[in-house]
């Protein structure tokens, strides 16, 4: 059965811009009013070059959203230390349509500049990633950073980049073998303000700080 272009547009508007809200044709009317026409244009152009791409895009969506996810992790590329889902055995040379998704993302970013919005608030692109991830303010559970205090990279020792005073403070709050659900401030000086100080360790190394 042929898939309608309207279905594909709705599907990939959610996939690329997406979140966890219910799908509705009017969801982005205020924040991104041209999203449907932008996505439609990219998909129609892709269909002209490859008639199979419609089925491939639906399959791509299925692999990300129906197998413990819908977090778009399937779109991530490999790094020096991490093998992504994109290059995993089940998906390598199998899942396809990534370029179409990338083209959609680029078109949407060109239309609605997130960086420009940050600049308007006095923030730069280096601030964008940690602030978007909310890893610079608020609180975190001990279990999310315990390895940095006691067994960094399976060495049996703390993260050498942690300051001694900070390590001692954190170990008092989060003793080894203690309650991992205990929470503490991400920023020891002021958890309500955005600063370039991060307690959590990121697998992708988006941001690091010894403070």
Q: Which residues are annotated binding-site positions for Ca(2+)?
A: 64, 67, 69, 71, 73, 85, 136, 187
Binding-site residue numbers for heme b are 135
Residue 61 a catalytic site member? no
Exactly one of 40, 61, 63, 148 is catalytic; name it. 63
Strand ranges, E, within the chain: 139-141, 183-185
- As a whole number of angstroms, the distance between CA 158 and CA 146 comes to 9
139: helix, strand or coil: strand
Which letter, b or e, does each residue of 5-44 get, where b requires 16 or more Cβ atoms within 10 Å of its Cβ?
A: eeebbbbbbbbbbbeeeeeeeebbeeeeeebbebbbebbe
146 contacts 180 by C-beta, under 8 angstroms: yes
What's the rounded Cα separation, in Å, for the pair 92 and 96? Answer: 9
**What residues have CB less than 8 Å from 8, skipping those under 6 apart?**
43, 54, 57, 58
Active site members: 63
């Amino acid at each position: 059965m042929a898939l309608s272009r309207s279905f594909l547009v709705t599907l990939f508007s959610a996939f690329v811009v997406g979140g966890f809200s219910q799908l509705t044709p009017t969801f982005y009317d205020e924040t991104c009013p041209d999203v449907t026409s932008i996505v439609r244009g990219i998909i129609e152009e892709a269909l002209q070059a490859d008639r199979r791409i419609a089925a491939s895009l639906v399959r791509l969506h299925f692999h990300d959203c129906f197998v413990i996810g819908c977090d778009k992790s399937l779109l991530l590329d490999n790094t020096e230390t991490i093998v992504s889902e994109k290059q995993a055995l089940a998906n390598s040379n199998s899942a396809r349509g990534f370029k179409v998704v990338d083209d959609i993302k680029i078109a949407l970013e060109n239309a609605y500049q997130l960086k420009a919005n940050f600049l308007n608030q006095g923030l730069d692109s280096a601030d964008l990633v940690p602030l978007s991830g909310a890893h610079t303010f608020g609180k975190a559970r001990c279990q999310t950073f315990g390895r940095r205090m006691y067994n960094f990279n399976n060495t049996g020792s703390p993260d050498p980049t942690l300051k001694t005073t900070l390590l001692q403070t954190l170990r008092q709050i989060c003793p080894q073998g203690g309650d991992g659900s205990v929470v503490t401030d991400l920023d020891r000086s002021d958890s309500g303000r955005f600063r370039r100080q991060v307690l959590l360790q990121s697998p992708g190394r988006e941001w690091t700080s010894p403070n």
